[in-house]
């Protein structure tokens, strides 16, 4: 099954520093990642490892810890495992052009099933997250076509706190979106609009510093542990 064909078709790997399609598994076989992505619209990409790829959803408002809040999650193309720790800048004009932050990562465990792919095909997966920010029990349920809902279950990690506001920095480098843009040669002003108000000062400082454009290939790419 070439589930990475769409991923490959949408990208030019001589231009973007995103990893080329390569199917393989992580050590645990069950990693998850949430990438904050300032493209034409700010969104959060939620990804779960299954069968050697990252099953992926774009969540416009990001995850919510409040079980009463159902967050729209649009299914998008599978991504390669190496994408999990991609943090950097996709050149403007390319597919998904903008700044990408590893907002959270860790491992997950499916609940009530061992066959994640089958559960996803059936349109509902319950799982427990062990991330740096997101923990506890969640569900992804399909409503129609590519539309899913990402919902927190009631447990001790449920909260009305807005986690995207309270924990806005990169889980791997501690940077704001604007700082990632600055250091990887992206559009700092545009990336700054993805930072929460509390970080505006820090972002404005980043924006004032002279951003030296760098080649995309220099963008950070950490290997999976
Ligand atoms: Mn995205």
**How do residues 164-216 score in pLDDT, each as one tens digit?**
999 999 999 999 999 999 999 999 888 888 888 777 767 666 666 544 444 44
Question: For ligand 1, a single-atom ion, which residues have Cβ within 5 Å?
Answer: 37, 45
What sign for the dihedral angle of Cα 91, 96, 101, 105?
Answer: negative
Separation of alpha carbons 6 and 123, rounded Å:
21
95 alpha carbon to ligand 1 midpoint, in Å? 9
What sign for the dihedral angle of Cα 18, 19, 22, 23?
Answer: negative
7 alpha carbon to ligand 1 midpoint, in Å? 12
Q: Report pLDDT for 34.
A: 98
The answer to whether residue 10 is domain-embedded is yes
Q: What SS3 state is found at 102?
A: strand
96 alpha carbon to ligand 1 midpoint, in Å? 6
Q: Which of 25-29, 39-43, 85-89, 165-169 has the lowest mean pLDDT?
A: 25-29
The answer to whether residue 220 is domain-embedded is no
64 alpha carbon to ligand 1 midpoint, in Å? 18
Separation of alpha carbons 45 and 176, rounded Å:
17
Where in the sequence is the domain holding 115, given as residue range(s)? Answer: 2-175
Mean pLDDT (whole number) for 8-21: 92
The answer to whether residue 109 is domain-embedded is yes
100 alpha carbon to ligand 1 midpoint, in Å? 8
| pLDDT tens, residue by residue, 58-79 | 999 999 999 999 999 999 999 9
Separation of alpha carbons 174 and 179, rounded Å:
10
The whole-chain average pLDDT of the chain stands at: 89
The answer to whether residue 167 is domain-embedded is yes
Q: Across the strands, what pairs with 147?
A: 74, 144
Q: Report pLDDT for 207.
A: 62
87 alpha carbon to ligand 1 midpoint, in Å? 12
Residue 141 clears pLDDT 60, i.e. is over it? yes
The answer to whether residue 23 is domain-embedded is yes
The answer to whether residue 148 is domain-embedded is yes
34 alpha carbon to ligand 1 midpoint, in Å? 10
**147 vs 220: which has the higher pLDDT:** 147
Q: Which of 28-37, 121-130, 154-163, 190-199 has the lowest mean pLDDT?
A: 190-199
| pLDDT tens, residue by residue, 147-162 | 999 999 999 999 999 9
Q: What SS3 state is found at 112?
A: coil
The answer to whether residue 214 is domain-embedded is no
220 alpha carbon to ligand 1 midpoint, in Å? 17
Separation of alpha carbons 135 and 128, rounded Å:
7
pTM score of the predicted model: 0.88
CA 110 to each of CA 117, 188, 198, 199: distance values in angstroms, whole numbers, following the listed order: 10, 38, 35, 35
Mean pLDDT (whole number) for 112-131: 96
Q: Report pLDDT for 105.
A: 96
Task: Measure the CA dihedral 73/76/81/82, to 10°.
Answer: -100
The answer to whether residue 191 is domain-embedded is no
Structural domains counted in the chain: 1
Q: Report pLDDT for 218.
A: 42
């Amino acid at each position: 099954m070439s589930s990475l064909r769409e991923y490959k078709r949408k990208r030019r790997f001589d231009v973007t520093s995103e990893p080329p399609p390569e199917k393989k598994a992580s050590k645990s076989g069950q990693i998850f990642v949430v990438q904050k992505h300032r493209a034409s619209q700010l969104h959060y990409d939620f990804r779960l490892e299954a069968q050697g790829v990252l099953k992926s959803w774009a969540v416009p408002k990001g995850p919510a810890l409040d079980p009463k809040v159902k967050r729209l999650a649009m299914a998008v193309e599978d991504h390669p495992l190496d994408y999990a720790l991609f943090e950097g800048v996709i050149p403007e004009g390319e597919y998904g052009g903008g700044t990408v932050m590893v907002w959270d990562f860790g491992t997950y465990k499916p609940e009530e099933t061992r066959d994640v792919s089958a559960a996803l095909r059936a349109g509902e997966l319950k799982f427990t997250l062990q991330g740096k920010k997101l923990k506890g029990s969640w569900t992804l349920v399909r409503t129609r076509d590519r539309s899913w809902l990402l919902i927190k279950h009631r447990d001790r990690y449920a909260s009305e706190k807005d986690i995207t506001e309270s924990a806005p920095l990169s889980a791997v480098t501690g940077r704001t979106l604007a700082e990632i843009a600055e250091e990887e040669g992206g559009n700092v002003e545009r990336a700054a609009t993805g930072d929460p108000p509390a970080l505006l000062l820090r972002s404005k400082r980043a924006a004032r510093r002279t951003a030296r454009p760098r080649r995309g290939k220099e963008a950070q790419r950490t290997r999976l542990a």
